[in-house]
Every structure is written in C-alpha cells, then in structure tokens.
Amino acid sequence: MMPTSNVRVGKKRLGFTLVELLVVIAIIGVLVSLLLPAVQAAREAARRMQCSNNLKQQGLAIQNHHDVFKHFPPGGYNPWGAVGSWATHILPYMEQNTLAVQNTNNNVDILRYRGGPTVFFCPSRRGSQANISQGGRYLMDYAAATPATSPNSWDQFWFGDTWGMAWEKSRYYGVIVRGGPDQTGIWRGNKSKIANIIDGTSNTMVIGEKQLSPVRYKTGDWHDDAGWADGWDPDVIRYTGFAPNSDRQYDNQGGWEGYRFGSTHTSGMNILLADGSVRFLGFTVDPTIFNQLGHREDGSTIPDDY
C-alpha cells in the first residue's frame, strides 16, 4: 500500500480579500479626485469658448446693423421702455426675424415674454434654457458698456435723469449710446457711428458679461428683471466706471453691484471690442484702463497687455 502524503491540497482562491478591495477602492477614489478637476476645467474651457462665440455673433450683428443704418444700434432711453434695447435692434441680423416682426408699433413689451436668442445666455451661468424672472420675462447675460468721467465717479450712467427726457442734453461716450426712436418714430437722444470711435475700434469695448448674484440666476434681480428687451437699464447696459468682478464676490463690494460687469468664469470675463474681436479680460484689470476701454474718444492709449 502506498504511503499517505501529509501535504494538503487546497482549493484555488477566487476574488479579493476585504483588505485588497478597500485598497482598490481607495486607489480609484484618488484617481477620480485627481481626474475630476481636470474634467471640470475642460468643461469650463469649452463653456467659456461658447460664451466668446456668443459675443462674436452679437458683434457681427452689430456691425451689420451699422452697415445698414450707418450708426450702431441704439441703447434705448429709459428703463422698461417700449422702444427696447440694442439687443432688440440686432435681431434681424441674427436670423431672428420671427422675433423681430413681433415688435409691432415700436413696442417691445411683447418681446419681454419671448425667449431671446441662445447667444444672449452664457453657458457657464444659466445656459439657454428658460431663464425667466418672477414675472415671466426672459433675462440676459450680456450688456453694452457706457463709461464714467473717471473710475468710481457717479452719475454718468443716468446723468441725473432715470425716467424723463432731460438726459437728452447730455452726451454719452460708449459705442452703444442712450437714445433711439420713440413710438412715433422720432429719434430721441444720441447716435453713435464708427467715425466717433476716435480711440480705435480695437481699443474700445462694446459688450461684456454682466455681474449677477449666483443665488438669483433663475429668479432675476432688481438689475436683471426686465430682460433682454429692456431699454436703457442695467439689464442691458453696464458701467465701466466700476471695476468688473466675479459673481462670487457679488455680496462683498460695498454696493453698485447692479451696475458692474463681471462673470461666473474663474478669473475674468469675455468682452467684445468694436472691431468685432473678443478678448478675455481679467478681473485684476486696472480700473482706469477698464473705464478707458468703455470710452470711445477719451484719447487714452490702451496697453497691449491689458
């Protein structure tokens, strides 16, 4: 009889032990934590590029308006005005005739409750979905620039007249200026032309992103309530007299938030220049340079590296 072996033949082990499983989970967690910021950064870069493209399309429409009428689109002349903003005047040049023809009798009230073109919304902020305020009005993420006499000087936004017509005696120095046809077709206030941009079209800002409160993106605010069809109002006009700032700083600026430019992007905002180009402007821009960018004929030289 053959001798019996003392060696025990064990079964082949399958799967992981608990310790091994925990190690694998920990490694996956570390990899995800390393990868997630990169994915988020890539997504934000794509959204910022789309925001830049939105401004380019607006700039092309503004230039086409100038080619047809020999002046830039008007900015309207009072808040909630029936005449409407620069945004309503460029609709025909953005393949938005369906919206444009609804502006009957020079009264844009009906447009407040119509969704504006998707290029009026920054994808980093609230996208192109139905972005409406409490009253059902569609909002806007961009605004035209109007300058101050000097940084932090007030009030060259209204020139002391918010609702009436006394402002007609004042002169506005942005590319988009306060004025436009009234409901009878009579032009009130200023007009602006390329010939007025003495500082050069590559040195003059036309449109930029607005600063908004992150908690009110979907509800609107006192300066973000009448919507994209508004007249001369912070909904569609902002002031270069105040330095731009991040949406994250909205409640920490000591006032005037509703008149500032800004964005939800990490370090700056996109701006459209009068030559149709778009640049990314950091929030650290010198306030004097920023105000000079909004002024079409102050004679200042803008540094190349602003």
Residue 64 DSSP code: H
pLDDT digits (tens, 9 = 90+) for 186-198: 899 989 999 999 9
Of 160 and 15, more confident: 160
46-50, 61-65, 100-104, 281-285: lowest mean pLDDT where? Answer: 100-104
pLDDT digits (tens, 9 = 90+) for 52-111: 999 999 999 999 999 999 999 999 989 987 778 899 999 999 988 888 888 766 678 888
Q: CA 21 to CA 53: how far, in whole Å?
A: 47
Q: Please state the domain extents for the chain.
A: 18-294
Q: Are 175 and 197 in contact (CB under 8 A)?
A: yes
Collapsed DSSP state (helix, strand, coil) of residue 298: coil
Instruction: Name the helix (H) or strand (E) containing 100.
Output: helix 97-100
Q: Count the alpha carbons within 13 Å of 240 in the hemisphere toward its beta carbon.
A: 31
264, amino acid identity: T
3-17, 28-42, 221-235, 276-290: lowest mean pLDDT where? Answer: 3-17
The pLDDT assigned to 167 comes to 93
> Cis (ω within 30 of 0) for the bond into 230?
no
Q: Are 271 and 279 in contact (CB under 8 A)?
A: yes
- What token pair was written down for 297? 């004929």
Collapsed DSSP state (helix, strand, coil) of residue 304: coil
Q: Is the pLDDT of residue 10 over 60?
A: no
The pLDDT assigned to 12 comes to 57
The pLDDT assigned to 153 comes to 93
